[in-house]
Structures are given as structure tokens and as C-alpha cells.
């Protein structure tokens, strides 16, 4: 009777150990990026990545505009931050945002002395050229700098460092943004990354598969200002936890099996 109990216990512990091993393992296919389209093929070496589509300004956007002129008084007049132009403290995020120009409901920015300038639907370069053309009527040899203040990317879900990130460049790819947020966790679903993007009619939802190499040819490879990326968990996450002490538990079960086997032999 005792031997039957020991044998049943040992068998049960072995089954538990096997289940723990398999439940804590995630196939590489689910966590590798840019895999070949077909399993029996190799990675391609060239991709026709779509050209980055320049962002067109919309209602609610905030612009940082700087006017450079040979006339110091004109600089102070046209620049909200003229008195702090030589101070590094004047260029923190909050200061730039508070001194930015908001695109109102009519698609205008209210510029000093000049008045409203319609910029809706324009790119940053087109906006820069338009402002320069208007100011050239009042000033000579001016240089206009236009930057988008609210270029933010937000990550939620199975990402190592979720949150909102400010982007200080003209464009950013999905992989650059993921790297900025510390990469997707082992339990993040890379096959169905959800990209939420604002449109004129509301919000559009796009599904990206980062495990396929043809993501490099996706029209959504480059992100837009205020994009939100949601990484949902894999379906098997409830059966496995990355912080669970598998090694300790497995070693404990192995020790019990060895002891019970030794007792049974004796």
C-alpha cells in the first residue's frame, strides 16, 4: 500500500513538473520580429518601405514658432520667448508648450501683429513658407523655425515601459518607438499590435503584425503624432507569470521525487 502511494505521488509530481515547464515556455515564433513569410524560406534582403507621409496640421495642434531677424527689436516683438532666447531654462517642455501657437477651430493660429494665419491641412514646411511669405512684407532677411510641439506616442498593455513619449524628430518607425518604450514583454502579442490613430472622422484602428518581415512595407510602419499603441497579452499568459519562481519550485519538486524514489527503493 505504501509503495502504491509513493508511486502515485511520484507520478503526480512528475506530471506537475512537466506542466510547469511547458506553461512557462513561450515559443520563439511568438516573440521573434520580422520572420520570413513562409517557414521554409529565408529573410528577404530588400524591402520597398513606403515613403514617410508628412504630417498635415489639424485642429488642436500646437506649433513652436521662432522668428530670426537681424533686428533685435523685431525678434523680441514676434517671439513669445524673446527675453529667454539665450537661456537654456527657456526651452523646457512646459515653457515651449505654453508659448506655442494653437490651431483653433477655424484652422488658424493667431500670430503677433499679423493676425490669424490659416494653417489647417498644411505640412510644417508649408506652414514655415507661408509665415515667412507674410513676414517678408514687414521684415527683411528673416528665418522662420516651425516645430510641432505635440508629437507624442503612447504605449499601453504588455510593454516594459508603458506611458506617453515625446518625440523630438520629424518621424519615427514602429520599431524605434517600441525600443524607446523598452521593448514588448515576453507575454505581449506581437501578431496583433493595435494602432489607434486620430482621423477627421474620429479614430481608426489598424492591426500590425510585427512578427512578419513585410511589416517593413506597411503604410503604418511610420507613426504619426498622438498615435496610441496597445499591446494585448498572449492568450496563455494566465497560465504563466514571468516573475514566478519556477526554478525554485522545480528544484523542490525534483528533490521530493528523488527522496520518494530513494524511500521506495529501500
**Residues 93-105, buried b or exposed e (16+ Cβ, 10 A)?**
eeebeebbbebee
Taking the CA atoms of 197, 198, 199 and 205 in sequence, report the sign of the dihedral they define: positive
What percentage of the chain reaches a pLDDT higher than 70?
Answer: 67
pLDDT for position 49: 78
Q: Please give the Cα distance from 146 to 143 (Å, whole number).
A: 10
- The per-residue pLDDT of the chain, averaged, comes to 79
Residue 17 near residue 254 (C-beta atoms within 8 A): yes
Q: Is the pLDDT of residue 174 over 70?
A: yes
In this model, does residue 199 exceed pLDDT 90? no
Max CA-CA distance within the chain? 103
218 pLDDT more than 80: yes
Predicted confidence band of residue 84 (pLDDT cuts 50, 70, 90): very low
Residue 82 confidence class, pLDDT cut points 50, 70, 90? very low
Q: Taking the model in full, what pTM does it have?
A: 0.71
Give 46's pLDDT tier (boundaries 50, 70, 90).
Answer: confident
Out of 67-76, 123-132, 162-171, which region has the weakest mean confidence (pLDDT)? 67-76
Instruction: Please give the backbone phi and psi of residue 134, each rounded to the nearest 5 degrees, phi first.
Output: -70, -45
Amino acid at each position: 500500500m505504501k509503495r502504491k502511494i509513493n508511486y502515485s505521488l511520484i507520478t503526480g509530481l512528475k506530471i506537475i513538473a512537466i506542466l510547469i515547464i511547458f506553461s512557462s515556455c513561450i515559443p520563439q515564433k511568438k516573440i521573434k520580429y520580422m520572420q520570413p513569410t513562409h517557414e521554409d524560406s529565408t529573410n528577404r534582403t530588400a524591402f520597398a518601405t513606403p515613403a514617410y507621409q508628412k504630417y498635415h496640421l489639424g485642429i488642436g495642434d500646437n506649433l513652436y514658432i521662432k522668428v530670426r531677424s537681424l533686428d533685435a527689436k523685431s525678434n523680441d516683438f514676434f517671439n513669445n520667448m524673446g527675453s529667454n532666447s539665450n537661456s537654456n531654462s527657456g526651452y523646457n517642455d512646459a515653457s515651449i508648450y505654453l508659448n506655442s501657437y494653437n490651431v483653433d477651430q477655424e484652422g488658424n493660429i493667431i500670430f503677433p501683429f499679423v493676425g490669424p494665419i490659416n494653417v489647417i491641412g498644411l505640412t510644417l514646411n508649408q506652414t514655415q513658407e507661408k509665415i515667412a511669405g507674410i513676414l517678408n512684407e514687414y521684415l527683411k532677411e528673416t528665418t522662420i523655425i516651425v516645430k510641432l510641439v505635440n508629437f507624442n506616442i503612447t504605449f499601453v498593455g504588455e510593454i516594459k515601459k508603458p506611458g506617453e513619449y515625446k518625440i523630438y524628430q520629424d518621424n519615427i518607425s514602429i520599431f524605434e518607438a517600441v525600443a524607446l518604450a523598452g521593448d514588448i514583454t515576453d507575454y505581449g502579442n506581437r501578431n496583433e499590435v493595435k494602432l489607434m490613430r486620430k482621423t477627421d472622422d474620429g479614430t481608426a484602428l489598424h492591426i500590425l503584425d510585427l512578427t512578419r518581415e513585410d511589416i517593413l512595407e506597411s503604410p503604418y510602419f511610420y507613426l504619426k503624432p498622438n498615435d496610441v499603441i496597445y499591446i494585448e497579452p498572449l492568450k496563455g499568459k494566465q497560465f504563466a507569470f514571468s516573475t514566478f519562481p519556477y526554478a525554485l519550485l522545480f528544484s523542490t519538486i525534483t528533490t521530493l521525487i528523488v527522496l520518494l524514489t530513494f524511500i521506495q527503493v529501500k
